Amino acid sequence: MKAECTEHIRCLIIGSGPAGYTAAIYVARAGLKPVMYTGVEPGGQLTQTTDVDNFPGYPQGILGPALMDDLRMQAERFGTDIRFGSVSAVDFSLRPHKVIIDETKSVTADTIIVSTGATAKWLSVPGEQQYSGFGVSVCAVCDGFFFKGQDVAIVGGGDTAAEEASYLAKLCKKVYMIVRRAEFSASKVMISSVLNASNIEVVYNSETKEILGDGKNVTAVKILNNKTWEEKELPVNGLFVAIGHKPNTDIFKGWLDMDEIGYLKTIPGSAKTNVEGVFAAGDVQDRHYRQAVTAAASGCMAALDAERYLAAKEAAPNAKTRTIFSVKTKKGWFDKDSPQNLTYKEAGIRGFFVVCMPALAAIDWNFHTHTMFFIAPFIMYLAVSALTMTCPVKELFSRRNKSDSQEL
């Protein structure tokens, strides 16, 4: 990371989808002058689609690019500095955090909101690009409604594909589920819901070769059976690609906690990542919902968390927020900054009472002095209060580390 540092930013937003723009609106309105780097796809995934019918506030629906233009203008109205450029590397080892833009420029930031989204995997077959938004979709929840009462196909054999097939079966006349292998890779419960739906036909051992249309809309999908080498066309009006997403998190590997696919982990009920001052919003941290409105909502959460973080830092600039212990409860790990965590001082005091006082009592007992009658109740009081303030004693001295934080 050799680029020379040229600028310090209070709140840096990485990514310009619904999550990034919403975060920008909130942070800018709080007077924190956010800087946003858009990445190579200004406006995010919705710029790839036509009609968006499910974003609140647009009773007649809106085109994806137009919706993103509205969000951009709203963010700019409050003073967001929107710049074209991509983050190519980060260094979260020190504070403020260091970020490299386009491998050339280096900036530092007090807080960072990561909203880099997740990229849907496409089939890369003829017709796919041409009919994207005109019959080809990567989101059944978003676009299934447009195919009400019609015949559609869905490609994929995993949990998402099975879930989306069941969703489509409730709207569409017939759903072909095109599965590459002789079996599903979905979970048993998902498979049984697919197999129990009377209007889903599973087409095993089949690969999608081409998406056919009339120049405007999809009319059929050409598939090849990889056992018999037989080719056939399924007459459909829509094709849903459900073969997975790739979260855009490569640049954060080694810094931010991720799940096995690469989605960022946040502390439940917040946008906080495992690194202080770094927050995550939108699809990049959400493998379940992946909707524009949920991305926007988590952008709001990230902005409020960032604002509060900055306010706390600025109110007590020298406060020692670092904790040596994180406390585990049934609900998971407390946040690093949680007052229920132990600071060095608190740990020292509790350690003294929990360890030293029984030792003193033992000495006292040994020498048959009567003071134990005074000390014993005091020790019990301290021990009970120390334990009830936190958690079971075996968890008390657990130190949070990478593998522990998997439980976040």
Binding site for ligand FAD (CB under 6 A): 14-20, 37-42, 44-46, 48-49, 52, 54-55, 86-87, 115-117, 120, 138-139, 142, 248, 251, 282-284, 290-293, 295
Residue 78 CA to residue 25 CA, distance in Å, equals 7
Maximal C-alpha separation, the chain: 99
Q: Which residues lie below 8 Å from residue 121, measured CB to CB, with a gap of 6+? A: 241, 243, 244, 245, 246
End-to-end, the C-alpha distance of the chain in Å comes to: 30
Residues designated as active site: 139, 142-143
Which residue, 14 or 200, is less far from ligand FAD as judged by CB? Answer: 14
Residue 32 CA to residue 311 CA, distance in Å, equals 10
Q: Which strands form 206-213's sheet, in the order they lie side by side?
A: 206-213, 218-225, 231-235
* Identity of the residue numbered 48: Q
CB of 58 to ligand FAD, least distance (A): 11
What is the signed CA dihedral for 348, 350, 354, 359, rounded to 10 degrees? Answer: 40
CB of 394 to ligand FAD, least distance (A): 39
Which residue, 133 or 332, is less far from ligand FAD as judged by CB? Answer: 133
Q: Residue 46 burial by CB count (10 A; 0-12/13-18/19+): exposed, middle or buried?
A: buried
Strand partners, 329: 332
Which residue, 280 or 372, is less far from ligand FAD as judged by CB? Answer: 280
Kindly tell me the number of DSSP H helices and DSSP E strands found in the chain: 10, 21
